[in-house]
Structure 1
Amino acid sequence: MALHLQKRGVKAVRFHPQSLGRPDTLSCEFGPRGQLNWRLEGAYGVLKDREVGSVWYRRPLFALDPELSPEEAQFAQTESREAVLGLFRLTEAFWVNRPDAIRVAESKPLQLKLAQQLGFRVPHTLLTNDPVRFQEFYEKCNGAVIFKVMTQGALGGSEGKGVYTSLVTSWHLRNFEAIRRAPCLFQEHIPKAVDLRITVIGEKIFPVEIHSQDHRQSVVDWRKGNTARLKHAAHQLPPKIEAQCFELLRSLKLVYGAIDLILTPQGEYVFLEINPSGQFAWIETLIKLPLIDTLADLLQSHT
């Protein structure tokens, strides 16, 4: 995105928090008379607070220093994250999206509550670490249940594999006592005609069909397998559903979001989740929607 804006003649820099101290520096000074000044300095030069008009904030990484002990490295990483986020909270710029808004919006239970209040159908859902409640829920859903994670975490650390949404199987039933160790999110499995990824950028919306049911590997979770081989097509949302999408972002104080819906074989729209930092570049590659230009327009309009 920085390169895209630079090609338009807009001054844009890319700040990597993992470069803090190697060699980037951060300074923020509160003067005795209420003056506030901060600056970042790195390969991009010097960036001062009053120069920032808009910010695209997406999944920053904070590195562990290999020259420190594990305890020291964890402490330094935590302090670095707090310093950077603290500085960002002081930045009076246009954000896509504000870090604190992202943190709140990533809550899956909150998403489901708001979506339901706005009129979306949401799947029958259970969040629990109680094996008895899980068994009761499984029976209510006649055995058609999926498990999904609530975070972007991976098994095996930062280099591990992501956890896909999956059907509850006989293996899970034999080992259901394991859910005591951490609450799990279960939902009824709803048959799909297609998956829908709705990308909202400011006041513009780009609904796209993902024909996940065409390949066995992607039936439950379209991200599993080779996404590029799945048929993608533009989709026309009913005005009511489109309005609900915009209202959901407003409720979460977001200006960008990637919403996942299901379109059932009966033509009903079902809300799954919203990702305030969701990807979109692959969509532009496959069906040529102007997503990058639209985001660049939004950022540039506030510089």
Structure 2
Amino acid sequence: MVGGAPGSVLIVTESEDVHADAMAATLRNLHGITPIRLDMREFPSETGGFRLGRIGTARTLAHVPGLDTVTAVWWRRPRQCRVATGISSADDEFRQAECDGFLQGLLWSIPALWVNDPGADRTACRKIVQLETARRSGFAVPDTLVTNDPSAAREFVAGRPGPVVYKRTGTGRANFTETRLLGPADLDRLDTIRSAPTTFQDYIEADCDLRVVWIDGLEWTVRIDSQSGVGRVDSRLDTAVAFTPARLPAAVSKSLTTLMGALGLVFGVLDLRLGRDGEYYFLEVNPQGQFAYLEIKTGLPIFASLANFLVGADAAVPGH
């Protein structure tokens, strides 16, 4: 595990996260900082402690030196502690809760700049919260039903004027699931949503899709020519189409700023869809979203911008 100097940046994520690798390289190259990295699955195999007394506090993890020097945390892709199981289900649950409670408390007590605040991050990951907040922030949002009631789903689909898509409602680390158009075969399988609440939405006929990386008010917007390839329904399915830097209209930027402020986020990756009707539709925001491929495709200095923010500099990058 790599340690850091005073004014360190802590990246909490999976050890195999390529975004963290790229950020570590960016921080070294631009700011001479080697960040601290932590994969929470390494606890309790490694020891840790929190000491509080009249002279102050001290946080220790045996394999992660320098926690008390941290001034910024990128809460990138945290995981649960990896606790051995097999004694009994009750004991396993108790030890998992104790380990998670300790490590989360140890980290969350660090008085640092958080990207993002863990509480806000957790709430903002709930897609129903996102959709309602986006609507109140002035975004156009496709008509939506989230339900585990097959009858309600059939009624919604039957009452829509055009095609409907369906997609997952949660944000866990299950296998990738694409957004799909609802067809006759799917209608026959609707009883299966009883144990898996599903999101149904009006399908927006698109001019293009946009992916926006938002860093404390700064927008890095990429236009994805999704309608020219196989990702017409879900732009994530085709990265061979054109990706070009773009700008949002002022009114959309205002709604975006309102949304992120209401969610309490300083960072997020948003998916918008520009409809053929000229409207910019909100689809979702991911507080831990992927963006490396956007930089590779367009040359936008997104990693440098986020690195600047983490070290307390202006997120803007000279020349952009």
TM-score, structure 1 as length reference: 0.88
Residue 41 (str. 1) matches residue 55 (str. 2): no
Q: Percent identity?
A: 34
- Alignment partners' CA distance in 1, 2:216 and 2:208: 25
Residue 12 (str. 1) matches residue 46 (str. 2): no
Question: Where does 1:110-121 land on structure 2 (aligned, <5 Å)?
Answer: 110-121=129-140
Aligned to 2:8: none
Aligned to 1:267: 278
Aligned to 2:5: none
Instruction: State the number of aligned residues.
Output: 289
Residue 28 (str. 1) matches residue 46 (str. 2): no
Question: Where does 1:139-158 land on structure 2 (aligned, <5 Å)?
Answer: 139-142=158-161, 144-153=163-172
Aligned to 1:105: 124
- Alignment partners' CA distance in 1, 2:119 and 2:81: 21
- Alignment partners' CA distance in 1, 2:50 and 2:213: 35
Q: Tell me which amino acid in the other structure corresponds to 2:306.
A: L
Would the aligned equivalents of 1:154 and 1:163 in 2 still touch at CA under 8 Å? no
- Report deviation, 1:251: 0.9
Aligned to 1:199: 213
Deviations along 1:44-73, whole A, 9 cap, x unmatched? 5x2232x11001111122354567568466
- Report deviation, 1:96: 0.6
Would the aligned equivalents of 2:271 and 2:284 in 1 still touch at CA under 8 Å? yes
Aligned to 2:303: 292
Aligned to 1:158: none
Residue 208 (str. 1) matches residue 222 (str. 2): yes
Would the aligned equivalents of 1:58 and 1:277 in 2 still touch at CA under 8 Å? yes
Range 286-295 or range 199-208, more displaced: 199-208
Question: Where does 1:1-303 land on structure 2 (aligned, <5 Å)?
Answer: 1-7=23-29, 8-22=31-45, 24-31=46-53, 33=54, 35-42=56-63, 44=64, 46-49=65-68, 51-62=69-80, 64-65=82-83, 68=86, 71=89, 76-142=95-161, 144-153=163-172, 161-216=175-230, 218-224=231-237, 226-227=238-239, 229-301=240-312
- Alignment partners' CA distance in 1, 2:85 and 2:131: 43
- Alignment partners' CA distance in 1, 2:277 and 2:140: 13
- Report deviation, 1:165: 1.2
TM-score, structure 2 as length reference: 0.83
Relative to 1, partners in 2 of residues 1:164 and 1:82: Cα closer, same or farther, differing over 3 Å? farther
- Alignment partners' CA distance in 2, 1:66 and 1:150: 30
- Report deviation, 1:11: 4.4
- Alignment partners' CA distance in 2, 1:146 and 1:70: 42
Range 175-184 or range 113-122, more displaced: 175-184
- Report deviation, 1:30: 3.1
Relative to 1, partners in 2 of residues 1:144 and 1:20: Cα closer, same or farther, differing over 3 Å? same
Q: Which runs of 5+ in 1 are unaligned?
A: 156-160
- Report deviation, 1:4: 2.2
Would the aligned equivalents of 2:44 and 2:82 in 1 still touch at CA under 8 Å? no
Would the aligned equivalents of 1:3 and 1:12 in 2 still touch at CA under 8 Å? no
- Alignment partners' CA distance in 2, 1:9 and 1:70: 48
Would the aligned equivalents of 2:74 and 2:115 in 1 still touch at CA under 8 Å? yes
Deviations along 1:11-56, whole A, 9 cap, x unmatched? 421111112234x33211233x4843212231x5x2232x110011
